[in-house]
């Protein structure tokens, strides 16, 4: 008995449908496998990370501490006192974050804290991640005080600026993105 062959369009349509269905099934299986892997690995990974963080945060305890173990005192760092009052401390403010008006805003804040703002401007580059307070030699105490007033974490001697760029001031504040 002779049966007619199906039309070529029907063969192609069946093949396309089968491919799409197989692809969807494979995608669903992949998502399920990734979910199962995440569930299986999440708890041990979180425990390992917590253990590592606790170990890094605290020093290891001595195994057999004797009653006569030496007492270790933390090292004290001498922080020089500021010699000049805020009203006599000159500061230049440089915008190192690229935001328009950042130096002017910081200068207004410094003036409200009674610092003398010598000038404002842009830093050589505009991609500072953190703000920096720099001081002229002999004015480390003033630099630390300014950093404390503005909650700036990085303080250091002049770097990349000449003393003449301070316009008679003692400190430079370079604003970062923080």
Over the stretch 91-128, which tens digit does the pLDDT of each residue have? 999 999 999 999 999 999 999 999 999 999 999 999 99
Token digits of residue 134: 């720099």
pLDDT given for residue 127 in this prediction:
92
Residue 21: Cβ within 10 Å count: 10
Give pLDDT, residue 45: 79
What per-residue confidence (pLDDT) applies to 62?
52
Buried b or exposed e, range 36-52, using 16+ CB within 10 angstroms? eeeeeeeeeeeeeeeee
Q: Report pTM.
A: 0.57
Predicted confidence at residue 102, as pLDDT, reads 95
Long-range contacts of 58-66 (CB under 8 A, 24+ apart): none
Beta-sheet pairing, 171-175 with 132-135: antiparallel
Q: How far apart are alpha carbons 6 and 8 in whole angstroms?
A: 6
Residues of the chain with pLDDT under 50: none
Is the Cβ–Cβ distance between 137 and 162 less than 8 Å?
no
Predicted confidence at residue 100, as pLDDT, reads 94
Distance CA 145, CA 76 (A): 18
């Amino acid at each position: 008995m002779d049966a007619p062959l199906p039309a070529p369009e029907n063969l192609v349509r069946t093949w396309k449908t089968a491919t799409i269905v197989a692809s969807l099934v494979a995608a669903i299986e992949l998502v399920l496998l990734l979910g199962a892997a995440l569930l299986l690995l999440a708890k041990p990974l979180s425990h390992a990370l917590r253990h590592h963080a606790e170990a890094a945060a605290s020093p290891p305890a001595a195994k057999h501490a004797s009653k006569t173990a030496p007492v270790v005192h933390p090292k004290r760092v001498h922080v020089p006192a500021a010699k000049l009052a805020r009203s006599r401390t000159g500061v230049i403010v440089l915008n190192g974050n690229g935001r328009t008006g950042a130096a002017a805003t910081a200068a207004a804040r410094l003036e409200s804290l009674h610092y003398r703002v010598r000038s404002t401007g842009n830093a050589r580059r505009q991609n500072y991640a953190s703000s920096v307070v720099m001081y002229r030699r002999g004015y480390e105490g003033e630099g630390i005080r300014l950093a404390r007033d503005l909650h700036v974490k990085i303080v250091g001697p002049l770097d990349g600026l000449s003393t003449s760029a301070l316009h008679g001031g003692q400190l430079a504040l370079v604003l970062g993105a923080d």
